């Protein structure tokens, strides 16, 4: 397979083709051309799964991703409600990062469908998905160390907004990252926790309805984790952003999650509250199995 290179990272879209502003987006959502409110579109699979008659924001339908002969995502039906804060856990190699990349569009599925807010987005380019309201912070850090905090914060929004609106979003990203006062500091001199916060702030500045975070607190201290947990909760409650957060630390998951999905061997193994998941002997068994 030669086509397994991932599409370019979305949260760094410096090359968005079509400029889109808040005003355009909210105008579109109120108009008759909004797919979710069009009665004809309601009857499509996307409309039925994620249209205006349901609280479901995202739904995957039988989603499959194979790398050569290896099935990393195995017929996954997974959904997230509007404004929900969902954590995704599972042993190493369970397919968590792959599922997020299929949702954000940096990987193309082998089969199946992805529906989002009344539309089918299975074949949509990542930058179009950003404009539809999906944003992601990848597992691999993507802050530019030789740029300042402000220059980094400007990257995701520079094609989406200009003038005062761009400045507002850059300031908001820095504020959401808890980095007010650090604007001119070179990003490489920030602590690892501050860099992670900067990335979350940058991903949130794209004004998403759904924000995907791949291991946002890996390698961080307890204090840094607490701060990021608060940051995520605030964005969820105050801005109404729905989240899918991949994380291993069950204390952290318990602090933030409305509900938890366990992935195992590419498919959904369990879903429930953190208490249900933690007390489930089968979940313990797959973790203790230590499989890769
Ligand atoms: P997780 O994030 O749950 O640890 P991943 O989604 O990263 O797991 O990976 C799931 C499985 O798919 C792993 O076995 C991994 O080696 C494999 N995989 C992921 N990306 C690729 C790729 N680009 N090419 C081949 N195999 C891959
Ligand atoms: Mg991963």
Mutate to test the pocket of ligand 1, among 4, 70, 72 (most ligand atoms within 8 A of CB): 72
Spacing of C-alpha 77 from chain mean position: 17
Q: Is the CB of 6 under 6 A from ligand 1?
A: no
> Which tokens hold the place of 38?
């069009």
Q: Is the CB of 261 under 6 A from ligand 1?
A: no
The proportion of the chain whose per-residue pLDDT surpasses 70, expressed as a percent, equals 84
CATH pick for 22-288 out of 3.40.50.720, 3.90.1170.30, 3.30.1330.120, 3.40.50.300: 3.40.50.300
pLDDT of residue 161: 86
Mean pLDDT of the chain: 87
Q: Which of 280, 271, 287, 279 is nearest to 88 (CA)?
A: 271
Other CB atoms within 10 A of residue 165 CB: 14
CB 212 within 8 A of CB 165: no
Q: Where are the domains of the chain?
A: 22-288
Give the pTM.
0.85
pLDDT at 41 > cutoff 50? yes
Using CA atoms, how far apart are residues 35 and 290, in angstroms rounded to an integer? 44
Cα of 93 from ligand 1 centre, angstroms: 6
- Going across the sheet that includes 85-89, the strands are 134-137, 210-214, 242-246, 85-89, 259-264, 267-272
pLDDT of residue 53: 87
Other CB atoms within 10 A of residue 119 CB: 20
CA distances from 125 to 111, 133, 285 (A): 16, 13, 38
Using CA atoms, how far apart are residues 144 and 46, in angstroms rounded to an integer? 37
Cα of 112 from ligand 1 centre, angstroms: 18
Using CA atoms, how far apart are residues 82 and 244, in angstroms rounded to an integer? 11
pLDDT of residue 5: 54
Cα of 66 from ligand 1 centre, angstroms: 10
Using CA atoms, how far apart are residues 286 and 258, in angstroms rounded to an integer? 22
pLDDT digits (tens, 9 = 90+) for 162-185: 899 999 999 999 999 999 999 999
């Amino acid at each position: 397979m030669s086509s397994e290179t991932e599409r370019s990272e979305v949260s760094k879209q410096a090359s968005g083709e079509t400029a889109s502003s808040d005003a355009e987006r909210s105008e579109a959502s109120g108009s008759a051309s909004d797919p979710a409110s069009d009665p004809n579109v309601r009857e499509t699979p996307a409309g039925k799964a994620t249209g205006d008659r349901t609280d479901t924001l995202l739904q995957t339908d039988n989603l499959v991703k194979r790398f050569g002969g290896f099935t990393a995502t195995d017929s996954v039906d997974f959904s997230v409600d509007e404004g929900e804060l969902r954590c995704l856990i599972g042993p190493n190699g369970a397919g968590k990062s792959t599922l997020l990349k299929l949702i954000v569009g940096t990987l193309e599925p082998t089969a199946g469908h992805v529906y989002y807010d009344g539309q089918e987005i299975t074949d949509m380019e990542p930058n179009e998905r950003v404009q539809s309201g999906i944003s992601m912070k990848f597992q691999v850090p993507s802050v530019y160390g030789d740029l300042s905090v402000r220059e980094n914060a400007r990257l995701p929004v520079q094609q989406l907004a200009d003038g005062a609106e761009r400045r507002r979003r850059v300031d908001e990203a820095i504020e959401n990252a808890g980095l007010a006062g650090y604007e001119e500091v070179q990003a490489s001199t920030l602590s690892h926790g501050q860099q992670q916060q900067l990335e979350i702030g940058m991903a949130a500045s794209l004004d998403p309805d759904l924000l995907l975070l791949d291991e946002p607190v890996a390698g961080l201290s307890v204090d840094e984790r607490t701060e990021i947990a608060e940051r995520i909760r605030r964005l969820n409650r105050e801005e109404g952003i729905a989240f899918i957060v991949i994380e291993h630390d069950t204390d952290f998951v318990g602090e933030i999650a409305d509900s938890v999905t366990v992935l195992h061997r590419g498919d959904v193994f369990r879903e429930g509250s953190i208490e249900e998941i933690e007390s489930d002997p089968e979940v313990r068994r797959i973790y203790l199995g230590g499989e890769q």
